[in-house]
Structure 1
Amino acid sequence: MYEPKTKVNDASVEKFLEDVPDEKKRKDSFVLLEMMRKATGKEPKMWGTSIVGFDSYHYRGKASEGDAGIAGFSPRKQSLTLYIMSGWEYHKDLLKKLGKHSLGKVCLYIKRLDDVDVAVLAELIDAAFSRSKRLIKKMNS
């Protein structure tokens, strides 16, 4: 059975963020930390060595089973990467207003918070997290 590499652990989120070498990215990460904490109502946990995650769910598939994060972010070298279980594409109206970004399936890439409308980003995180929670509830019923 598949064993996920990225698992929740007891490493310090604050220590991880304090060690981000780029000062602007470090400051942006602490802003994201508070935005995601507010949107999710959850305390952050480290997932693996580089993802700050908020809340989790248990999944069961044909080939694998385990726990995964619902929302999170990582201050990567190239960008701030935001993750959401349900994907970002369902929020096109907010994405149009967000500012400079790019998308992957479950990833939203932002170079720095100055490139986006932070109020729209907060609304987007809240909407995407709420959608993820609804999907999880539906999967488990």
Structure 2
Amino acid sequence: MAKNKTTETEVDVTEFVESYVDNIQKKADTYKLIELISEWSGFEPKMWGPTIIGFGSYHYKYASGHEGDAPMLGFSPRKAQFSLYVYSQTAKSERLLKDFGKFKMGKACIYVKKLSDIDIPILAQLCSESIQYLNEHHECACRH
């Protein structure tokens, strides 16, 4: 079975942000996201893989037998845009996206250029909905 590439690391989150994010606005948005998602999730940020800042964790297992751990919520301050890992495919999440602001949807994440493009209270609701979904469907750190 293949080893998961995205695992929790010991890399310091602040060191990562300072060395990886070179745009002033993106750096400010990165620190704001860390503050907000820490508050909403109740977890401190940890690095997952080389570029994902994750909060909490959950264990997944697919019908194929593939299993592993992933951040409960997370994001990556990529060069072009943020990749937000805060979405679970629920009816409520679909409704929330209608008023979320400027974004693009990927297979497993939401892409946004800057925080001012999105509605922060809706982001909070998306995070809450995702935590609830993970709690109901996976072994989740949100239960502890």
**TM > 0.5 fold call:** yes
Amino acid corresponding to residue 10 of structure 1 in structure 2: E
2:79 to 61, 77, 82: 77
Counterpart Cα distance in 2 of 1:42 and 1:132: 15
Counterpart Cα distance in 1 of 2:90 and 2:17: 24
Aligned residue pairs, count: 138
2:116 to 114, 117, 137: 114
Counterpart Cα distance in 2 of 1:82 and 1:64: 23
Which residue of structure 2 aligns with residue 9 of structure 1? 9
* Identical columns (%): 39
Which residue of structure 1 aligns with residue 48 of structure 2? 47
The answer to whether the 8 A contact 1:73-1:80 is kept is: yes
Higher strand share: 1
After superposition, residues 26-45 of structure 1 pair within 5 angstroms as 26-45=27-46
Provide, for residues 4-28 of structure 1, a one-character-per-residue CA deviation record: whole Å limited to 9, x for no partner: 1111011001111223101111110
After superposition, residues 86-101 of structure 1 pair within 5 angstroms as 86-87=88-89, 90-101=92-103
Unaligned runs of 5+ in 1: none
The answer to whether the 8 A contact 1:10-1:46 is kept is: yes
Quote how far apart the aligned CAs of 1:49 are: 0.9
Counterpart Cα distance in 2 of 1:5 and 1:102: 24
Quote how far apart the aligned CAs of 1:50 are: 0.3
SS of 1:9's partner is: coil
Quote how far apart the aligned CAs of 1:66 are: 2.4
**Alpha-carbon distance change, 132 to 60 in structure 1, aligned in 2, over 3 angstroms:** closer
Counterpart Cα distance in 1 of 2:90 and 2:75: 13
Q: TM-score, normalised by structure 2?
A: 0.85
Quote how far apart the aligned CAs of 1:38 are: 1.4
Counterpart Cα distance in 1 of 2:58 and 2:38: 17
**Alpha-carbon distance change, 87 to 36 in structure 1, aligned in 2, over 3 angstroms:** farther
Amino acid corresponding to residue 3 of structure 1 in structure 2: K
**Alpha-carbon distance change, 63 to 137 in structure 1, aligned in 2, over 3 angstroms:** closer
The answer to whether the 8 A contact 2:96-2:126 is kept is: yes
The answer to whether the 8 A contact 2:52-2:76 is kept is: yes
